[in-house]
Amino acid sequence: MSSDDVGEAAAVLARIVANATDTDLGSLGGETTLFGRETPPMPTDRVPDILAGADALVGVVPRLDQSLLGALRDRETDLTARIVVTGQAREQLTGPTRLAARSILEERDVDLYAHEGDSPVGVLLVDERALVGLFDDRGLAAAMVTDAPAVREWAVETCERYRDASEMLFD
């Protein structure tokens, strides 16, 4: 996998994941796809397909992007989901505009946790794959989907660390 032809944000995300997992992305193993907003389809347009057949979703998100909310809202089957919201996502669910996003998540029985920190990187475990996203002021700038063991292990550790340091948002 090369990050040279997927755009600047995707190249930044590739370096973040490589540093976090202490691996060379070319030797990850497994199936890995890296995409950025510079090359259609947009990362946000890919999220619904990635989540479509999932049975389980665990993650940490700094933004509640419409692609994630829409994919959850439009599901025809149940999904076991635990999401830690941080940064702007936490503010979305605790501030004055919380009703729309909150109703979608409550309707889908998503267990929500709030974390006081912030990060430009979101991590979702979607069944056996990791979806790692890089956010900027315009939303999801780049994403990586992989079943590579090193990235999955890092994603699991990240999700557990954030969840351990967070509080249940709604009971």
Provide, rounded to the nearest whole percent, the portion of the chain with pLDDT above 70: 93
Q: What does the alpha-carbon distance between residue 162 and residue 171 come to, in Å, rounded to a whole number?
A: 19
**Shortest CA distance to 124 belongs to which of 99, 89, 92?**
89
**Shortest CA distance to 16 belongs to which of 114, 155, 118, 116?**
155
User: Strand 111-114 relative to strand 80-85: parallel, antiparallel, unpaired?
Assistant: parallel
58-98 confidence digits (pLDDT tens): 999 999 888 888 888 888 788 889 999 998 888 888 776 56
Architecture of domain 8-168: 2-Layer Sandwich (3.30)
What is the model's pLDDT at position 3? 43
Q: What does the alpha-carbon distance between residue 148 and residue 135 come to, in Å, rounded to a whole number?
A: 22
CB atoms within 10 A of CB 29: 12
pLDDT tops 60 at residue 124: yes
Domain ranges of the chain: 8-168
16-66 confidence digits (pLDDT tens): 999 999 988 777 777 889 999 888 888 889 999 999 889 999 999 999 888
- pTM for the complete prediction? 0.89
